[in-house]
Amino acid sequence: MFAPLIWLFLLSTGRLMARTMSGARTLLGLVLVLGGCCLAALGAGAAGPPQAGRFVAAVYEHHAVLSPDPWALSSRAQALELMSQNLDIYEQQVMTAAQKGVQIIVFPEDGIHGFNFTRTSIYPFLDFMPSPRLVRWNPCLEPHRFSDTEVLQRLSCLAIKGEMFLVANLGTKQPCHNSDPGCPDDGRYQFNTNVVFSNNGTLVDRYRKHNLYFEAAFDAPLKVDHIVFDTPFAGKFGMFTCFDILFFDPAVRLLRDSEVRHVVYPTAWMNQLPLLAAIQIQSAFAVAFGINFLAANIHHPSLGMTGSGIHTPLESFWHHDMESPRGRLIIAQVAKHPLGLTGTENATGEMDPSHSKFLEVVAGGPYCEKDAQEVRCEGATRWNMDALPTFHSEMMYDNFTLVPVSGKEGHLRVCASDLCCYLLYRRHTLSRELYALGAFDGPHTVHGTYYVQVCALVKCGGLGFDTCGQEVTEASGMFEFHLWGNFSTSYIFPLLLTSGMTLETPDQLGWENDHYFLRKSSLSSGLVTAGLYGRWYERD
Ligand SMILES: *[C@@H]1O[C@H](CO)[C@@H](O)[C@H](O)[C@H]1NC(C)=O
Ligand SMILES: *[C@@H]1O[C@H](CO)[C@@H](O)[C@H](O)[C@H]1NC(C)=O
Ligand SMILES: *[C@@H]1O[C@H](CO)[C@@H](O)[C@H](O)[C@H]1NC(C)=O
Ligand SMILES: *[C@@H]1O[C@H](CO)[C@@H](O)[C@H](O)[C@H]1NC(C)=O
Ligand SMILES: *[C@@H]1O[C@H](CO)[C@@H](O)[C@H](O)[C@H]1NC(C)=O
């Protein structure tokens, strides 16, 4: 679960997401992405038999039936009664998806049991979970093999019924002895668990969430699960949950050390603009690693929770809806071998120096150009680099250093600690809106501690400098821009969010002379955030 501060006091169990990568500056090669991108949610009508080289995936953003009083103790029968209401909805979605030829479906974190539990009050909601590594088990066909496994049985039967791989999240329990030093006082582990079933109902594997987000009801496993499962239709998938997306383990290690081309990702994410809305971070992860990212969020607009998608490195099929109370099934055909940013199928490939040649006229015309070494501006054009005063404003609880973005074009620099961020920009018309370029280099300390380096061009909430960093979703600034910074980490997540919670694909991004850059020349709607969100895992 991921939740801004206001919810910290409200939700005793939340989770957030995080993501990570590390190592030398090799993660992302130069990226060439052409034009048109993200279609808004496809609804359930998009599929049919897959085209050659593709498979059909679905994610379901679920409006969960929640316990009216999650702190109260209930019986197993009451818990099963509540969860079966959610599983009935899952069944309808599986049947709809089956008609569209879906081969794998992903359901969100907390979608079956809900949230706000205590360690004790969640207990009746937990299934017993044998290790799929030790026992081969088909819960639908062998229901009596283990007791307290009603939810697993139902999910397994849904996979059979829909003849598809099925990924879902549930709470599980595992008894332990006090000879085990990690064993909690109550004699059991309680895990926030994703499970995957094959299309014949076999329990293929499970992942127990490592980076819990203030989830008092759950324990983190003593050893991190790095889970990769194989499918006959698209090869290897990795799996993790919500807040995990911001950390090295398991997310980045999984992608660095295996041939994972796709990730399934149940989440319960509260949007936090301007940098960490659900669809923003999901698509950035797909772009950064050159993989397909199948993200299912729960749908509770009153709690700020919405935003799911099937994200490929080149386009996204997403859903973000703060109005409707209903869930949404997203179906899309995606490549079995996603074309990554390097133009190869190697998502973690090293950047080939011969690909780093980069020379272009950023702002067009005779004004300014940037090559790998420097920015050259000619003529009498006044460039405002360093001419403007910097100011400070809080963005997502971090103290950013910013400069205002003024005029129709310009070249700006702003630095914070060891990070300098640069922007070349042009816009044809000026709107009555304030934009600013911000830099932050330091530990984020609210709701989890993790070190970030960020360059961000944001639309401010109003016309005052102190509004820069506030949450906005509508904007009209049509920028052409080139944004770059001298990051100390190789793990950079590129964010590009436009008006009305829409995503766009960068024209180009990658490393060049120790700077990471993102370029975009033609937006289809006003810019809300263009950001380079760096995670420096070693500094956490
Ligand atoms: C969780 O608890 C908080 C605090 O009481 C409450 O405001 C919120 O509505 C609860 N959420 C759910 C889904 O029960
Ligand atoms: C069921 O699915 C698993 C995982 O794909 C596979 O290994 C197994 O052979 C299948 N079993 C049958 C009976 O088809
Ligand atoms: C990806 O690139 C790295 C670095 O060039 C190389 O070591 C690795 O073998 C490649 N992996 C694949 C699957 O091609
Ligand atoms: C933000 O950082 C600046 C520079 O270090 C400092 O002067 C200012 O007081 C900080 N603002 C807050 C709210 O901490
Ligand atoms: C980034 O550039 C600034 C300004 O040139 C410099 O002071 C800083 O040390 C650089 N940071 C790194 C990590 O190279």
Catalytic site includes residue 38: no
Tell me: do 397 and 327 sit in the same domain.
Answer: no
Q: Which residue from 346, 351, 355 has its CB within 8 A of the most atoms of ligand 3, so it is best to mutate?
A: 346
- Other C-beta atoms within 10 Å of 446: how many? 11
Cα–Cα distance, 504 to 461 (Å, whole number)? 21
> Residue 387 — pLDDT band, cuts 50, 70, 90?
low
Domain that holds residue 102: 39-335
Q: What is the CATH number of the domain that holds 240?
A: 3.60.110.10
Tell me: do 409 and 310 sit in the same domain.
Answer: no
Residue 121 has pLDDT above 50, yes or no: yes
Residue 225 covered by a domain: yes
pLDDT of residue 371: 63
**326 residue type, one letter:** R
> Residue 372 — pLDDT band, cuts 50, 70, 90?
low
Ligand 5, atom 9: nearest CA belongs to which residue?
418
Per DSSP, what are the bridge partners of residue 128?
173
Residue 505 covered by a domain: yes
The tens digit of pLDDT for each residue in 33-61 reads 222 233 333 443 455 688 999 999 999 99
Residue 432 covered by a domain: yes
Cα–Cα distance, 404 to 409 (Å, whole number)? 12
Tell me: do 301 and 401 sit in the same domain.
Answer: no
> Residue 30 — pLDDT band, cuts 50, 70, 90?
very low
Tell me: do 103 and 246 sit in the same domain.
Answer: yes
Residue 160 covered by a domain: yes
The tens digit of pLDDT for each residue in 276-308 reads 999 999 999 999 999 999 999 999 999 999 999
**Residue of higher predicted confidence among 360 and 55:** 55
Tell me: do 400 and 268 sit in the same domain.
Answer: no
Tell me: do 273 and 135 sit in the same domain.
Answer: yes
The tens digit of pLDDT for each residue in 70-116 reads 999 999 999 999 999 999 999 999 999 999 999 999 999 999 999 99
Residue 481 covered by a domain: yes
Pocket lining: 488 vs ligand 5, CB cutoff 6 Å = yes
Picking from 213-222, 384-393, 468-477, which range would have the lowest pLDDT averaged per residue?
384-393
Q: Give the ligand at the shortest distance from the Cα of 305.
A: 1
Residue 359 covered by a domain: no
Q: Which residue from 138, 198, 237 has its CB within 8 A of the most atoms of ligand 2, so it is best to mutate?
A: 198
pLDDT of residue 178: 87
Q: How far is CA 532 from CA 174, 318, 485, in A?
A: 41, 21, 8
Looking at the 3D structure of the chain, how many domains does it have? 2
Tell me: do 447 and 303 sit in the same domain.
Answer: no
The tens digit of pLDDT for each residue in 263-278 reads 999 999 999 999 999 9
Taking a C-beta distance cutoff of 8 angstroms, is the pair 51, 525 a contact? no
On average, the pLDDT of the chain sits at: 86
**499 residue type, one letter:** S
Residue 275 covered by a domain: yes
Ligand 1, atom 11: nearest CA belongs to which residue?
116
Catalytic site includes residue 109: yes
Residue 250 has pLDDT above 80, yes or no: yes
Query: Is 191 buried (19+), middle (13-18) or exposed (0-12) by CB count in 10 A?
Result: buried
Pocket lining: 257 vs ligand 3, CB cutoff 6 Å = no
- Of 269, 302, 335, the residue that ends a domain is 335
Tell me: do 417 and 521 sit in the same domain.
Answer: yes
Residue 243 has pLDDT above 60, yes or no: yes
Residue 370 has pLDDT above 90, yes or no: no
Taking a C-beta distance cutoff of 8 angstroms, is the pair 311, 267 a contact? no
pLDDT of residue 435: 98
Catalytic residue among 38, 173, 209, 315: 209
> Residue 402 — pLDDT band, cuts 50, 70, 90?
very high
Tell me: do 146 and 238 sit in the same domain.
Answer: yes
Picking from 184-188, 234-238, 331-335, 379-383, which range would have the lowest pLDDT averaged per residue?
379-383
Per DSSP, what are the bridge partners of residue 333?
56
Q: How far is CA 177 from CA 43, 187, 217, 285, in A?
A: 48, 6, 19, 39
pLDDT of residue 382: 47
Q: Give the ligand at the shortest distance from the Cα of 350.
A: 3
Pocket lining: 350 vs ligand 3, CB cutoff 6 Å = yes
In 3D space, the residue among 139, 134, 117 whose CA is nearest the CA of residue 126 turns out to be 117
Q: Give the ligand at the shortest distance from the Cα of 3.
A: 1
Cα–Cα distance, 258 to 226 (Å, whole number)? 10
pLDDT of residue 301: 97
Residue 444 covered by a domain: yes
Residue 23 has pLDDT above 60, yes or no: no
pLDDT of residue 89: 98
Pocket lining: 391 vs ligand 4, CB cutoff 6 Å = no
The tens digit of pLDDT for each residue in 146-179 reads 999 999 999 999 999 999 999 999 999 999 998 9
Pocket lining: 386 vs ligand 5, CB cutoff 6 Å = no
Tell me: do 121 and 263 sit in the same domain.
Answer: yes
Ligand 4, atom 6: nearest CA belongs to which residue?
392
In 3D space, the residue among 257, 201, 265, 258 whose CA is nearest the CA of residue 60 turns out to be 265
Cα–Cα distance, 89 to 107 (Å, whole number)? 11
Tell me: do 326 and 398 sit in the same domain.
Answer: no
Tell me: do 105 and 249 sit in the same domain.
Answer: yes
Residue 486 has pLDDT above 80, yes or no: yes
Q: Is 494 helix (H, G, I), strand (E, B) or coil?
A: strand
pLDDT of residue 446: 94
Catalytic site includes residue 176: no
Pocket lining: 204 vs ligand 2, CB cutoff 6 Å = yes
Rounded to an integer, the average pLDDT of 483-512 is 95
Q: Which residue from 392, 400, 403 has its CB within 8 A of the most atoms of ligand 4, so it is best to mutate?
A: 392
> Residue 6 — pLDDT band, cuts 50, 70, 90?
very low
- Other C-beta atoms within 10 Å of 129: how many? 23
The tens digit of pLDDT for each residue in 197-213 reads 999 999 999 999 999 99
Element (H, E) at 295: strand 292-296
Pocket lining: 478 vs ligand 1, CB cutoff 6 Å = no
Widest pairwise Cα distance in the chain: 82
Q: Give the ligand at the shortest distance from the Cα of 199.
A: 2
